[in-house]
Structure 1
């Protein structure tokens, strides 16, 4: 039987004043796992356009999408789920509001937070290299396949 193709997603490394924006998108709080905001790509739209759309949908913020900085690959060993995430360095677009009340029309994101490196270290999160990529400003990196742990 042919394996299912991996899902392609885009994610934003968005750091302001030493804090990284992270979200939880597990339905009904099934997991405390946090990650960078973003989501699946739609056919016919560029990766940066997909990312700008996803961030707007999840946060109401408009962003400028910069250079790619990480390719992360993960899977759920208990299922056939396999995802490849392409991360981009982003900034909030000039004049874009930073909502006091977050709005996610599709109700996918259950929690959002701007966290320091130390706060991120105390949170369950994926990928494992998220802090290094976000706070150390290294060049593009690749994380080999890692299991998704709830």
Structure 2
């Protein structure tokens, strides 16, 4: 059991009024979508970590802006607890290449979705769409992971 929460950085990236989402469940094991990003490495800033994660997961180069959402979740069964800082981002270069593969094999699908399409998807955190198309700052308090 981990003694301290894992820290992660995620991107809220709107492009042509569509939000970038990823599915990080190999083999279609889950229909859950989330914002791209991942765990922070020691000695590297959250924006640097986020730019690296986006490059790996999507092939996109991004510019990282201000934070806009804090989310945390916990799995009591395993003790896993993660705190995520979401940053507003924009594409600096690149496009989503359908042939792109995450070198770590974590992200299996990536796509831009409209606000209306989000209504038909299962995604976390629940405030993601509101924050993405809004201008405020959000906080999703600790939620339990539902298996």
TM-score by length of 2: 0.93
The answer for unaligned runs of 5 or more in structure 1 is none
Q: Is the 8 A contact 2:127 2:138 kept in 1?
A: no
Q: Which residue of 1 aligns with 2:96?
A: 99
In 1, distance between residues paired with 2:50 and 2:77? 28
Tell me the CA shift for residue 3 of structure 1. 5.7
Q: Which residue of 2 aligns with 1:54?
A: 53
TM-score by length of 1: 0.91
Q: Which residue of 2 aligns with 1:5?
A: 4
More strand by share: 2
Q: Is the 8 A contact 2:13 2:88 kept in 1?
A: yes
Over the aligned positions, Cα root-mean-square deviation in angstroms equals 1.4
Q: Which residue of 2 aligns with 1:109?
A: 107
Tell me the CA shift for residue 107 of structure 1. 1.1
The answer for unaligned runs of 5 or more in structure 2 is none
1:5-34 C-alpha deviation (Å, 9 max, x unpaired):
111100000001110000011233221110
Q: Which residue of 2 aligns with 1:73?
A: 72
